[in-house]
Structure 1
């Protein structure tokens, strides 16, 4: 079982428009609505590819009820910590003309000290049977900055690998705690380390204590920077257009699946993560892969 922890989930609303024109009025069909947030998307991809994931998340208010209902309807194994703050929404607008997606993410509400304790206790309990632990996404306002570092420590206490997809000080602390893999995108890495060069930024996280740094480069593919050896790069030969909002989550799902199976080779991790990330771009909703995802690894250009 792969445990995915999402302290700041969202109710995802995905609209499609023929062509997005800023400043203009658009008519659209009702949105696709589903329980979202990075860790939930990771769990969906793991399930689609034949793995077993367990979701730990929070939910509050009417949107939180809709999120919990969707988790149940999707038959995703989950534990939901009730919170007083309303679960935030995330709106994605897909432009069918050029394939670009515009995303508006609400920040989310603060958790009370008692709610953080309940979430932390659940992490400690659910880490025991997990083969890998994943911490994904933003933290709500007022969150302990070391929340993901605590997650890494809980995994390490049971000799479990951990994958963290975060940004800023929370990511740096997770690296210092010894996260097996950290997966920022290029912008998040620059914001965290102050370095525009992704290799230089990755080296800072490695020096802090991370085992492997995987950097999403958008259309340029993905970069893996290991503790030993040269950086590795992989991409598709052709540029894909579609909904890229879940591409990073698909990469995290690939990493967690391999680590849970005992595979740690950076080259294998990079190839699977890049392939699944690309396959996610062609899927209509975040948390899904295009049905042809097994074929994507053979289409990669590496080096």
Structure 2
């Protein structure tokens, strides 16, 4: 069973309209709301692939109850951690004319020490049955910057592989704790390392931590770059795809987590990650994937070995 943790979940509302008109009234073509947050999106994708997964999320107030009910209705296994404060909302505006998306992400309520301790305890109870621990998304206000690091250390003590998808100081602190795989995007990689060259940035992020740390950096339509202890690869999609890119990185994380659980070869994990990411862009909402596109694109993803920087 894969355990997917979302420390800062949200009720996601997605608006589709042809073109966003600034400083004017806009009338969306469609509106949809659902439980969200990066780890929850990962869990949705894994569930759609038939992979056993449990989502862990701190939920509070009426919004938290709405998220809980939505996940239960979707058939997702959920460990809901009661916390103080109202769970946040996020809004995504997808412009069909350009394929671009604009997001408004609330910070969420501040968490108390007791709130965070309950989440850590809930994760610890699941670790004996976990094949992989996925830690995804932002840390809410009030949680120490080494919050993810604490969970990484707990998983390592339980001998459970960890995949970390975070940003900023939480990413840097989490990497220092020694996860097995870390998946930054291009902006997160540059911010964490100060390097603009992708190869050097990947090498710098993994420097000074465990020798077998794998860094898989995602570059949107340009695919992914992976640095592992058994080789470096670049995987690129066969074509461009337009749509809502909000959940693309989460779909890639789902693919990598499944590959970790099944111990599949790295090139196959990367091929899966790129195809699932593209299929997520083509789907209407984060956490969904276009199954037909995924199945047709997967064998066409190109994976090439690359030389590490000298």
What TM-score do you get using the length of structure 2 for normalisation?
A: 0.93
Q: Is the 8 A contact 2:2 2:257 kept in 1?
A: yes
CA deviation after TM superposition for structure 1 residue 261, in Å: 1.3
CA distance in 2, matches of 1:121, 1:32: 33
CA deviation after TM superposition for structure 1 residue 30, in Å: 5.7
* 1:30-69 deviation line (CA, Å, top 9, x unaligned): 6211100000000000010110110110111221121111
Structure 2 counterpart of 1:216, from 208, 218, 232: 218
CA deviation after TM superposition for structure 1 residue 266, in Å: 2.8
| Mean Cα deviation higher: 168-177 or 237-246 | 168-177
State the match for 2:144 in structure 1. Answer: 144
State the match for 1:25 in structure 2. Answer: 25
* 1:252-288 deviation line (CA, Å, top 9, x unaligned): 000111111123x332222111111111111111001
CA distance in 2, matches of 1:152, 1:113: 18
Q: Is the 8 A contact 2:9 2:59 kept in 1?
A: yes
State the match for 1:260 in structure 2. Answer: 261
Q: Is the 8 A contact 2:55 2:78 kept in 1?
A: yes
Q: Is the 8 A contact 2:271 2:302 kept in 1?
A: no
Structure 2 gap ranges (5+):
305-310
CA deviation after TM superposition for structure 1 residue 168, in Å: 1.5
CA deviation after TM superposition for structure 1 residue 228, in Å: 4.8
CA distance in 2, matches of 1:24, 1:190: 35
CA deviation after TM superposition for structure 1 residue 101, in Å: 1.2
| Mean Cα deviation higher: 69-78 or 5-14 | 69-78
Structure 1 gap ranges (5+):
none
State the match for 1:278 in structure 2. Answer: 278
State the match for 2:101 in structure 1. Answer: 101
* 1:214-249 deviation line (CA, Å, top 9, x unaligned): 1110111111122353x3111123211011100000
Q: Residue 207 of structure 2 aligns to a residue in which SS?
A: helix
State the match for 1:189 in structure 2. Answer: 189
Q: Is the 8 A contact 2:34 2:67 kept in 1?
A: yes
State the match for 1:66 in structure 2. Answer: 66
State the match for 2:250 in structure 1. Answer: 249
Q: Is the 8 A contact 1:237 1:301 kept in 2?
A: yes
After superposition, where does 1:2-21 map in structure 2 within 5 Å? 2-21=2-21
CA distance in 2, matches of 1:56, 1:156: 18
Q: Is the 8 A contact 1:111 1:142 kept in 2?
A: yes
Q: Let me know the Cα RMSD of the aligned residues.
A: 1.4
| 1:226 matched to 2:228 | yes
CA distance in 1, matches of 2:206, 2:41: 26
Q: Is the 8 A contact 1:183 1:216 kept in 2?
A: yes
Q: Residue 16 of structure 1 aligns to a residue in which SS?
A: strand
CA distance in 1, matches of 2:208, 2:201: 11
Q: Residue 117 of structure 1 aligns to a residue in which SS?
A: helix
Q: Is the 8 A contact 1:14 1:32 kept in 2?
A: yes
| Mean Cα deviation higher: 135-144 or 266-275 | 266-275
CA deviation after TM superposition for structure 1 residue 29, in Å: 4.9
What is the number of equivalent residue pairs in this alignment?
301
